[in-house]
Amino acid sequence: MSKKTYLVAGGTSGIGLELVKKLSAGDNRVLVISRNNTGLEGLPGVEHLRKDITTDPIEATELPEVLHGLAYCPGSINLRPFRSLKTEAFLDDYTINVLGAVRVLQAAHKALKNAGGAGVVLFSTVAVGQGMPFHASVAAAKAAVEGLTRSLAAEWAPDIRVNCIAPSLTDTPLAARLLATPEKREASEARHPLRRVGTAEEVAGLAAFLL
């Protein structure tokens, strides 16, 4: 199998980092866009582009000429009662989950098209399809991600495949405070048919398959 080139935005923690590990283990070139390179040290074929995707411009010239796959992994877990959510909270969640993805996808579109048969993976949440209390802000943003996914899947076909994964609560640093005690973890596990919380490695495995 020939060596491929992938772009992972937010690939230094949680699902993103596990995905980078899986892709780099396959003797691929992996470019990670993030604010720091924590966790990437020593991974073969991994390069780092220091950017804050919520504020920094991303130019097509900064990316490889050919990308066989792109995963946008930054996200947020902003759980509050609706009455206490200010407009800024909705804007912040929309910026990191939707506008950040738009910025990366627009910069990478030509390189993805150059690959012929490239794949894109975005991330939503199960809270979009299954109403959950205190999820109004993040669910609204992730619903926009799902809309973006469907639109691009139609617009970019057949050259580029676009998919979205909507996990439930996953054991990652982002969700650490929700699993911080045995009681919280037990309550979270009880809400799932499998009676356990998913792992970053499991979700990253699905993302790697889709890419």
Rounded distance between C-alpha atoms, residue 165 and residue 52, angstroms: 23
Lowest mean pLDDT, pick from 81-85, 111-115, 172-176, 180-184: 172-176
E-strand ranges in the chain read 5-9, 29-34, 46-50, 69-72, 118-123, 160-165, 170-171, 198-199
Does residue 1 have a pLDDT over 60? no
* Amino acid occupying residue 82: F
* 151-199 tens-digit pLDDT: 999 999 999 999 999 987 766 666 556 656 776 667 666 676 777 767 8
Kindly list the distances between the CA atom of residue 177 and the CA atoms of 23, 57, 73, in Å, as whole numbers in the listed order. Answer: 28, 31, 19
* Contacts of 6 by beta carbon, 8 Å cutoff, 6+ apart: 23, 28, 29, 30, 31, 67, 68, 69, 70, 71, 211
Q: How far apart are the first and last CA of the chain?
A: 15
Mean pLDDT across the chain = 91
Query: Which pTM was predicted?
Result: 0.90
Q: Among 49-58, 86-95, 128-137, where is mean pLDDT lowest?
A: 128-137
Do the beta carbons of residue 44 and residue 26 sit within 8 Å?
no
Confidence of residue 79 (pLDDT cuts 50, 70, 90): confident
Q: Which residue has the higher pLDDT, 186 or 110?
A: 110
Q: For position 176, what pLDDT does the model report?
A: 58
Residues 194 and 187 sit within 8 Å (Cβ to Cβ): no
Angle at 200 between CA 194 and CA 203, to 5 degrees: 70
β-sheet bridge partners, residue 5: 29
Q: What is the pLDDT of residue 142?
A: 96
Question: Which of 22-26, 100-104, 191-195, 198-202 comes out lowest in average pLDDT?
Answer: 191-195
